[in-house]
Amino acid sequence: MDLQAVQGPELATAALDQRLRTVTIQAERGSILDASGQPLALTIEARNLTTDQRLITDAADVAQQLAPILGIDAYTLGKRLKGTRAFAYVAKDLSVQTWRRVEALRIPGLFSEKTSIRVYPGGDLAANVIGYVGAQGQGLGGIEYAFDDVLAGRAGSDTYEGNPGGRLIPTTARSLVQAEPGSSVRLTIDRDLQFMAQRAIAGQMAKSGSDSGTVIVVDPRTGDILALATAPTFDANNVVATPAALLGNRALSDVYEPGSTSKAATLAAVIDQGAASPSSWFRVPPEVKRGPNSFHDHDGGGKVSLTLAGVMARSSNGGTIMAAERIGARSLYGYLRKFGYGEKTGLGFPGESAGRLPDIRQWNTATLPTVAFGQGVSVNAVQMAMVYATLANDGLRVRPRLVDAVVDPQGRTRVLDPEPATRVVRASTARQIRQMLEMVVSDAGTAPMARIPGYRIAGKTGTAQYVDPSCGCYNGGVIASFIGMAPADQPGLVVAVTLVNPRHGRYGGELAAPVFKKVMRYALQARHVAPTGTPSPHLTLTAAGT
Q: Does domain 191-234+251-404+416-526 have CATH number 3.40.710.10?
A: yes
> Hey, what CATH class is 30-187 in?
alpha beta
Query: Does residue 161 register a pLDDT over 50?
Result: yes
- The continuous run of DSSP H or E covering 109 comes out as none
Domain map (residue ranges) of the chain? 30-187, 191-234+251-404+416-526
Q: Is pLDDT above 60 for 70?
A: yes
Rounded to an integer, what is the distance from CA 259 to the centroid of its chain? 22
Q: Is 431 exposed, middle or buried (0-12, 13-18, 19+ CB in 10 A)?
A: middle
131 and 142 Cβ atoms separated by less than 8 Å = yes
Residue 336's alpha-carbon distances to 207, 297, 339, 357, 363, in angstroms, are 34, 22, 5, 8, 14
pLDDT of residue 195 exceeding 70, the answer is: yes
**Is 260 a known active-site residue?**
yes
Q: How far is CA 4 from CA 7, 16, 283, in A?
A: 6, 16, 106
Q: How far apart are CA 40 and CA 93, in angstroms?
A: 20
CA distance 385 to 419: 18
Give the model confidence (pLDDT) of 335-355 as tens digits: 999 999 999 999 989 999 999
Residue 435 near residue 429 (C-beta atoms within 8 A): no
Cis check for the bond before 292: say yes or no (omega within 30 of 0): no
At 524, the amino acid letter reads L
Angle between helices 381-392 and 263-272 (to 10 degrees): 40
pTM above 0.75, yes or no: yes
Q: Please answer whether residues 305 and 322 qualify as being in contact, where contact means their C-beta atoms are separated by less than 8 angstroms.
A: no
Packed helices 96-103 and 59-70: angle between N→C axes, nearest 10 degrees: 150
- What is the predicted pLDDT for the residue at 16? 45
- Percentage with pLDDT > 90 across the chain: 77
φ, ψ (nearest 5 deg) of residue 396? -95, 125
Rounded Cα gap, residues 171 and 168, in angstroms: 9
Are residues 217 and 495 in contact, defined by beta-carbon separation less than 8 angstroms? Answer: yes
What are the pLDDT digits (tens) for 452-505?
999 999 999 999 888 777 777 777 789 999 999 999 999 999 999 999 999 999
Spatial CA neighbour of 470 closest among 207, 211, 205: 211
Residue 308 CA to residue 277 CA, distance in Å, equals 7
Contact 128, 250 (CB under 8 A): yes
What percentage of the chain exceeds 70 in pLDDT? 90
In 84-150, at which residue ranges do the beta strands (DSSP E only) sit? Answer: 88-95, 110-119, 132-133, 139-141
The DSSP call for residue 340 is T
Is the Cβ–Cβ distance between 249 and 145 less than 8 Å? no
- Bridge partners (DSSP) listed for residue 405: 186, 415
Comparing CA positions, the residue from 124, 154, 359 lying closest to residue 231 is 124
pLDDT tens for 76-133 read: 999 999 999 999 999 999 999 999 999 999 999 999 988 889 999 999 999 999 999 9
373-388: burial string, b at 16+ Cβ within 10 Å, e else: bbbbbbbbbbbbbbbb
H-helix or E-strand spanning residue 239: none
Residue 491: predicted pLDDT:
97
The amino acid at 224: D
Model confidence at 3: pLDDT above 70: no
Cβ neighbours around 467 below 10 Å, total: 18
CA distances 275 to 381, 383, 485, 489, 537, Å, are 29, 26, 25, 24, 22
Contact call for residues 485 and 493 (beta carbons, < 8 A): yes
78-82: long-range contacts (C-beta < 8 A, 24 or more apart)? Answer: 80/51, 81/51, 81/53, 81/56, 81/109, 82/53, 82/56
Radius of gyration of the chain (CA): 30
Close Cβ partners of 342 (under 8 Å, ≥ 6 residues apart) = 336, 354, 355, 356, 357, 377
CB atoms within 10 A of CB 101: 14
Determine which one of 260, 262, 316, 378 is catalytic. Answer: 260
β 493-500/422-423 pair status: unpaired
Helix, strand or coil for residue 408? coil
Task: Sort strands 281-284 and 184-187 into parallel, antiparallel or unpaired.
Answer: unpaired
> Average pLDDT for residues 291-299, to the nearest whole number?
82
* pLDDT above 60 for 19: no
Averaged pLDDT of the chain: 91
* Strand bridging mode 32-33 / 184-187: parallel
